[in-house]
Structure 1
Amino acid sequence: MTMDFVRDRPIYLQITDKLCGELIEGTLQPGDKLPSVREYAVTTGVNVNTIQRVYKELEMMALTETKRGQGTFVTENHAAIVTLRENMKLRLIEQFFTDITALGFTKDEMIEAIQKEVTK
């Protein structure tokens, strides 16, 4: 299952976001073991060094823990997952407002459209 990547964003960030999304939606659970770097590189169709960077990013974000000789595991620190969820929500909202205002929509038009969507 190779992934499709967009050209205007580094691949390692796209994969990091994919894994963060899986963590937020519950596909990845606290304590789950991630595939080895080589295995995940083959699965995604990218260089091993790229996956190594992804795993390093996740560890710096306190979302994974590497246990020497055992592999990389999703953190069991629920506060880190809650923080990730909140940060991703805010980032998506910010991106939405940036995109929609660039197209010339007003705040009232956005609120009206969101209210209609929520009440469907």
Structure 2
Amino acid sequence: MTGNACPSSALDPAIAARLKRDADGLVPAIAQQYDTGEVLMLGWMDDEALHRTLTTGRCTYWSRSRQEYWVKGDTSGHVQQVKSVALDCDADTILVKVDQTGPACHTGTRTCFDADSLPLAQ
């Protein structure tokens, strides 16, 4: 159960009303290192995950494969301490600036975006 389907979410109704979710009630959430600007990863949040992120200071995501919430670092120790949270101009993407401990990527690398650079046309 995700997104608007989660009636027990305590997310501020003013924030919830602004969010533009996909068909599953999810919004992409980009994690960025707060002091360097390095893009670390992309996860998915529903209303409850965003509420937990805003109130606990730790990034909580919705796992589309496992169909459950997960807090970054609870099993790996690679914690994301939240420094700020913002919506983009369309309110369809969340930017979470974090202080990342250890690697952000499940492969063990610092960022999920360093392994597969695509060639640009010349």
Q: TM-score normalized by structure 2? A: 0.30
Indicate the structure (1 or 2) with the bigger Cα radius of gyration: 1
Higher share of residues assigned strand: 2
Q: TM-score normalized by structure 1? A: 0.30
